[in-house]
Structure 1
Amino acid sequence: MVKVASTFGRSGTHDFILLRASALVMAAFAVFLVVWLVCNPGVDYAGWVSLFSGMGMKVFTLLALTGLLIHGWIGIWQVLTDYVKCSKLRGVIQYIVVLALAVYWFTGLFVLWGV
């Protein structure tokens, strides 16, 4: 088995499982939101606040956001390893992407717990 240094010990199986798990969480979240919107037509600000003020919805949303970021990171990592051959440039781009993903996650955390 070939191990690439930039995977930090992960394997293709690990990435496969993470992608499938994150896709399931995102799909469940999307289905839930669509059903909720169909059941609550004409939703206003108060309706959104009441939906996202519950602890279960906050956890579910944060889990969906985490799944989205994991999904995105694995996809970006695969594209970068396929198309950016200069390892220093790839490392810089990966660092910037990881920094942006961390900022997105913390922004989501602060927005969710601010409701």
Structure 2
Amino acid sequence: MVTNAATVGRSGVHDFILLRASAVILAVFVFYMLGFFLITPEITYDVWLGFFSGLCTKILTVLALFALLIHAWIGVWQVLSDYVNSSFLRGVLQFFFAVTLLSYLVVGLLTVWGV
């Protein structure tokens, strides 16, 4: 049996709740973006820049980024624990995906906040 040391949560119930909460946050973000695209008649660079300059959009985008990364990490852990039997290979793959997701987080934060 695979241990639970590499998951985001501490138990299956915690992971379940994190997955559902992150899915709700992602759904809210998708509907927020859809609303923008449906309401805005013409999308130019200035309109897009103005939309992402708003604090509400920045906060919701960062929340969606965190939700996506949590969702992805739990999914990767579950798939690797189910299909990769070698502990060493599973550890290497988990490390690779962890570094990849952390780099996505850094790039996403720098993109949203314009640092």
Could you tell me the TM-score, scaled by structure 1's length? 0.92
Task: State the match for 1:4 in structure 2.
Answer: 3
- Matched residue, 1:92: 92
1:64 CA drift (Å)? 0.2
Deviation at 1:7, TM superposition (A): 3.8
Cα distance in structure 1, aligned partners of 2:17 and 2:5: 18
- 1:16 match: 16
In structure 2, the partner of 1:33 is 33
Q: TM-score, normalised by structure 2?
A: 0.92
RMSD: 1.7
Taking the aligned partners of 1:17 and 1:59, their CA distance within structure 2 comes to 22
Structure 1 segments unaligned to the other structure (5+ residues):
none
After TM superposition, the structure 1 = structure 2 runs for residues 67-82 of structure 1, keeping only pairs within 5 Å, are 67-82=67-82
CA contact (8 A) 2:4 2:11 kept: no
| Equivalent residues, number | 114
Who is 1:53 aligned against? 53
Q: Deviations over 1:73-99 (max 9, x none)?
A: 111100000000000110000001000
- Identical-pair percentage: 47
Q: Compute the displacement of 1:3 (Å).
A: 7.9
Task: Give the ranges of 4+ consecutive aligned residues of structure 1 lying more than 2 Å apart after TM superposition.
Answer: 5-9
Deviations 1:2-24 (A, max 9, x none): 88243467100010000000000
| 1:110 corresponds to | 110
